[in-house]
Structure 1
């Protein structure tokens, strides 16, 4: 029996955690997006700045060296002149290799490199060679026939900067080849730093999200706990309000609603208590004159055969109405006991078949009831209340369904391995209208409003249900599947001792709370 609340608690905890998780995930995603975007922008800006600065420095130095050294070479330089010049150009602080192309004679090119093991003409992309060797027409927008061109390339996994230009008026063509590996290492270090910074930002955002989630969810959790206590009947539950934000406003709204509810429930309880006391007092006060009326009607009933034929019908009507009034008063007294919570079980071991037979025999229904009950089915319950239930169910079936009424008794196993007593009362009348079925156990409810003064008080089935509930059982009403009459099914635990102990425990707790107040 304890698995249900535990399961609900676990589910509530999971829901609480999932809300916290969603908040943390949202914070983390926002922080991750911001950090990644900022890191990517910073990396791109730094990468462009580093590469641009390095290539501009190298290209400017190469252009200057071409002007200062390569331009001073003779028109037909020797291979040694080219090599010596290339080595001088590469020996500067720029840290690049140089390749010079010239002509020994017309149509006889010579090539010299500052470091042939590092840089050869094969390392110069064909597109760059074509761009450098292309002679351009002079114009207002173009003052030189040849220009300096460059591009970035890779050899293996190492990036390189390759640039080239040609000396005007028949000078040599020069190419430079500079490794960008130091810059790549610097950029990789920057990327790692930005990645670490992004991870720290993500961790920080998760911690901040956890703190924010705790700050937000703690009032929500308190609100949920207060709502649960309020639903359990603790109408004096209130929330402590602090701050002026939306959660504080929600707490004020809850407190206002709880205060209004408590006031309305108190007013309703007072009115209900007043009405219950009035009914109880009225029923008690009616018993004395009703006793006298009953005695008089019994005398009149005994003398009815000797009365004037004109008076006999009136006497018969008075007798029946006095009996009806007596039943109504008894029913009202019983209802007030249930409403006041003073109804108690007086348990005994009962042979159910004998009890049903005694109920039918006491009311002279033996000829109208078909009983299907094996002897030996023993249940521990309150025999007086079982008699009230059976009398109301069988009497209702006889009155509205007509005889024969079939009563069957059996036992069924329930989930906990215990046995359950099942008593089924079936009639063969027209059945119960579908719109009436949900209300057959309501107090003072009658299916036909045109017959408000029928023999019944409208309390019989309601009292039967109350007596079943106090045993820990129930009664259900339905129409027979074959359309032949109505079926009332009474289900009671075969041993109501546990229910009785629970009622006594709740009663003692109620008395203690009353004393505390």
Structure 2
């Protein structure tokens, strides 16, 4: 085996495994996982945003309150127009707090120049303050709005060089400098990232746990369902004593009880039907055997009457011929019924011999005086190991049926085909030139006692001939099919686009029975094999 073959085999195995898992179990696991993932993700997202809001609000409130108080303490002692050096000292004092923020103070000196004092010029300057925040800080509100104060403390979160910061600012009421502060939120960001990772890990663990829980739940739920499926399969195989063990009071237990009741009812019904069928078979068999003795006597009498028919009165002679004919029909019916009962009971056996099929067909036709009505297309030397008596029954029924309903000439062709078995397959085709078999009758031509036909005259036989022929073919391991050969040829010609395919129905009709038998029926000669073939039918 090559590497490519092994790889393709593994792929097929994986695919078949996936197909087996495309079931209720997989759907339960997927649904559990999706529900758990949705719930865990929603809970984690809500927890993250609540914690984020709480952390940022607490940090910014602490920083802004500290900045406001420090600004009031440090700048309140300054003059309205302080010198730049005093502003610088105030900025340094403001930044020296536990909140660790940087400060920018903007004031106007006595000479009218503006001074910008920074606690750390390399980190926080006035340029880092958003324009919108500076406009809000410097905007004076009317005295009749809000709390009546002209200036308020405003804040905004910004990102500088990829790091988050809090920027706040206000103007000292009553005149004085404007102060801005810059508070780093990097530690809060790190804490929130750690929280997000923790929530993500918790979500993943919840997903894994839900999958395991779903697997356990699916096993608990599906195990009874699997047992029910196995029991149903055994019941379908004919094991009518199959029952389920019932435990609990839930819906699955009710289902098991219902199954057991159904199986019990079905077993009782089948046993009743089987007993009735067996009784019917015994009745037919017993009746056939009981009729043989009086029929033997009646047949002997009718033979004597038939020999003396020419010497009888002209009024009595037709009645004698009728009695002789009906006695023979009754005798044939009894023989056919006995043969049917042997098939039904499984007691029919093969007695095999090497048979030249061409000689067999010729002998069958000659024995029944059909030579003038049959055209034989068979090469001598086609030898098959079959039961000669049963093959003669098959041929006699098929050829006789063709002559009776289709008229002569009846063409019988014999050939062999290679069906993959060691000996090959024997194919015998019997064609007539009659009106054919109606399409609605074709599925029933081998049914017992079925004689209805719209296009053929009503049969005077027992209605068992074709059924017995089919049974004899089955016991050999073969089969018989029926068709209308002209219609088949017309359809093939139409499919091939040949001229004359549609000729107004002139090419329809003509019944054809095809017999297919193994060239060697030895594997089916034992009684067990013959019974198996009967059960397969």
Shift in alpha-carbon separation, 1:91–1:417, aligned structure 2, 3 A: farther
* Secondary structure in structure 2 of the residue aligned to 1:69: helix
Match of 2:511 in 1: 486
CA separation in 1, counterparts of 2:520 and 2:110?
125
Shift in alpha-carbon separation, 1:75–1:113, aligned structure 2, 3 A: same
2:248 to 243, 251, 268: 243
Match of 1:253 in 2: 258
CA separation in 2, counterparts of 1:502 and 1:161?
98
Q: Cα RMSD between the aligned structures?
A: 2.1
Structure 1 spans left out of the alignment, 5+ residues: 1-6, 511-517
Structure 1 position 59 matched with structure 2 position 59? no
Is the contact made by 1:397 and 1:427 (CA closer than 8 Å) also made in structure 2?
Answer: yes
Shift in alpha-carbon separation, 1:433–1:460, aligned structure 2, 3 A: same
* Secondary structure in structure 2 of the residue aligned to 1:210: helix
Match of 2:166 in 1: 161
1:443 to 448, 453, 471: 448
2:367 to 362, 368, 371: 362
Is the contact made by 1:98 and 1:114 (CA closer than 8 Å) also made in structure 2?
Answer: yes
Match of 2:54 in 1: 49
Is the contact made by 1:401 and 1:431 (CA closer than 8 Å) also made in structure 2?
Answer: yes
| Residue 490 (structure 1) shift | 1.1
Shift in alpha-carbon separation, 1:430–1:451, aligned structure 2, 3 A: closer
Answer with 272-281 or 103-112: which moved more.
103-112
List per-residue Cα deviations over 1:234-262 (Å, max 9, x = no partner).
00001111122222222122111111111
Shift in alpha-carbon separation, 1:103–1:501, aligned structure 2, 3 A: farther
Shift in alpha-carbon separation, 1:179–1:11, aligned structure 2, 3 A: closer
Answer with 385-394 or 428-437: which moved more.
428-437
1:29 to 8, 27, 34: 34
What TM-score comes out, normalization by structure 1 length? Answer: 0.93
Match of 1:407 in 2: 412
Match of 2:130 in 1: 125
Is the contact made by 1:446 and 1:452 (CA closer than 8 Å) also made in structure 2?
Answer: no
Match of 1:514 in 2: none
| Residue 169 (structure 1) shift | 2.1
* Secondary structure in structure 1 of the residue aligned to 2:258: helix
Match of 1:503 in 2: 528
1:39 to 22, 44, 48: 44
Aligned 1:99-248 pairs, distance under 5 A: 99-105=104-110, 107-139=112-144, 141-248=146-253
| Residue 464 (structure 1) shift | 0.8
2:281 to 276, 295, 299: 276
| Residue 491 (structure 1) shift | 1.2
Structure 2 spans left out of the alignment, 5+ residues: 1-11, 488-506
CA separation in 2, counterparts of 1:450 and 1:309?
36
Shift in alpha-carbon separation, 1:150–1:388, aligned structure 2, 3 A: same
List per-residue Cα deviations over 1:124-170 (Å, max 9, x = no partner).
11111111111111115341111100000111221000000000122
| Residue 74 (structure 1) shift | 1.2
| Residue 181 (structure 1) shift | 0.4
* Secondary structure in structure 2 of the residue aligned to 1:135: coil
* Secondary structure in structure 1 of the residue aligned to 2:98: coil
List per-residue Cα deviations over 1:255-275 (Å, max 9, x = no partner).
111111111110000000000
* Secondary structure in structure 2 of the residue aligned to 1:143: coil
Answer with 350-359 or 182-191: which moved more.
350-359
List per-residue Cα deviations over 1:210-249 (Å, max 9, x = no partner).
1111111111111111111111110000111112222222
Shift in alpha-carbon separation, 1:121–1:479, aligned structure 2, 3 A: same
| Residue 15 (structure 1) shift | 3.6
Is the contact made by 2:170 and 2:179 (CA closer than 8 Å) also made in structure 1?
Answer: yes
CA separation in 1, counterparts of 2:321 and 2:41?
98
Is the contact made by 2:95 and 2:102 (CA closer than 8 Å) also made in structure 1?
Answer: yes
Answer with 180-189 or 490-499: which moved more.
490-499
Structure 1 position 344 matched with structure 2 position 337? no
| Residue 12 (structure 1) shift | 9.7
Is the contact made by 1:381 and 1:471 (CA closer than 8 Å) also made in structure 2?
Answer: yes
